[in-house]
């Protein structure tokens, strides 16, 4: 049973399109995140949701809109895709009260904008 | 924004060698974490450190929380092929785990 699952694994799309990435966790965690990993492998947080409430929005263009229908799901919708959006996007989850900061990551969605 | 700098950026070693890498910050951290990312996968937590000076092991891996609280070290002994990957340090910028900041990564390659 995959703890944090993302779909799709790969996404190739043209500039200007709108696309969504889905994430689900079955760990019972109350906090979920989206991270972006660029070509240099640098991991940068984009959003964080706690119990469906947005708590972090890290200067991300408003073309990116996260949605959390419940605390087990956090989806990422991207409008008007640009070449610079090409990256690997990771979903992660954790329990806010967990001192261990044990983020569990999904296996990533590689987005290529052509 | 805050950046955690890792050194070295990449390492090429032979199987059986020991590995050392470090992570430094201009800010104090109260928790240091070490993650490993295999190709095509997300990062996986290896070791968590909670107190300055703390030394924690996980099999062949040993990590230390620097005394100044601005650095941390990871050692791998007797490397094996499955150690290949990217190692990241990470730490929360404030209490509560809302924002985990990751280091720049150290890529480990094992030469046959």
Secondary structure (DSSP) of B63-108: EEE-TTSSEEEEEE-S--GGG-EEEEEEEESSSSTT-EEEB--EEE
Categorize the per-residue pLDDT at B92 as very low, low, confident or very high, splitting at 50, 70 and 90.
confident
Categorize the per-residue pLDDT at B94 as very low, low, confident or very high, splitting at 50, 70 and 90.
low
Determine contact, residues A58/A45, Cβ cutoff 8 Å.
yes
Q: What is the mean pLDDT of residues B62-86?
A: 96
Contacts of A10 in chain B (CB under 8 A): none
CA distance B80 to chain A (A): 23
What is the model's pLDDT at position B30? 87
User: In the predicted model, what is the mean pLDDT of chain B?
Assistant: 92
What is the model's pLDDT at position A53? 85
Q: How far is residue B70's CA from residue B47's CA, in Å, rounded to a whole number?
A: 17
Categorize the per-residue pLDDT at B64 as very low, low, confident or very high, splitting at 50, 70 and 90.
very high
Partners of A87 in beta bridges: A111
Closest CA to B71 of B18, B29, B11: B29
What is the model's pLDDT at position A51? 82
> How many other CB atoms are there within 10 angstroms of residue B77's CB atom?
14
Categorize the per-residue pLDDT at B15 as very low, low, confident or very high, splitting at 50, 70 and 90.
very high
Those residues of chain A that have pLDDT short of 50 are none
Inter-chain CB proximity B98 and A103 less than 8 Å: no
What is the model's pLDDT at position B13? 96
Inter-chain CB proximity B50 and A99 less than 8 Å: yes
Paired tokens of A88 = 């690997």
Chain A residue with Cα closest to B89? A43
Inter-chain CB proximity B40 and A98 less than 8 Å: no
């Amino acid at each position: 049973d995959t703890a944090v699952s993302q779909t799709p694994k790969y996404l190739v799309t043209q500039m200007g399109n709108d696309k969504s990435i889905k994430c689900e966790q079955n760990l019972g965690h109350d906090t979920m995140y989206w991270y972006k990993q660029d070509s240099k492998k640098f991991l940068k947080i984009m959003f964080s949701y706690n119990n469906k409430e947005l708590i972090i929005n890290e200067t991300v263009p408003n073309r990116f809109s996260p949605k959390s229908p419940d605390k087990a799901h956090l989806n990422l919708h991207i409008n008007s895709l640009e070449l610079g959006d090409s990256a690997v996007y990771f979903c992660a989850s954790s329990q806010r009260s967990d001192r261990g900061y044990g983020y569990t990551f999904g296996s990533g969605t590689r987005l290529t904008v052509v | 924004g805050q950046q955690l700098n890792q050194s070295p950026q990449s390492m090429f070693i032979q199987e059986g060698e020991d590995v050392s890498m470090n992570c430094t910050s201009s800010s104090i951290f109260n928790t240091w974490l070490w993650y490993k990312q295999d190709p095509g996968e997300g990062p996986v937590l290896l070791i968590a450190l909670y107190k300055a000076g703390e030394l924690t092991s996980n099999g062949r891996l040993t990590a230390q929380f620097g005394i100044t609280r601005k650095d941390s070290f990871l050692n791998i002994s007797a490397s094996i092929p499955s150690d290949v990957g990217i190692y990241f340090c990470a730490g929360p910028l404030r209490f509560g785990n809302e924002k985990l900041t990751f280091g720049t990564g150290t890529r480990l390659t094992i030469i046959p």
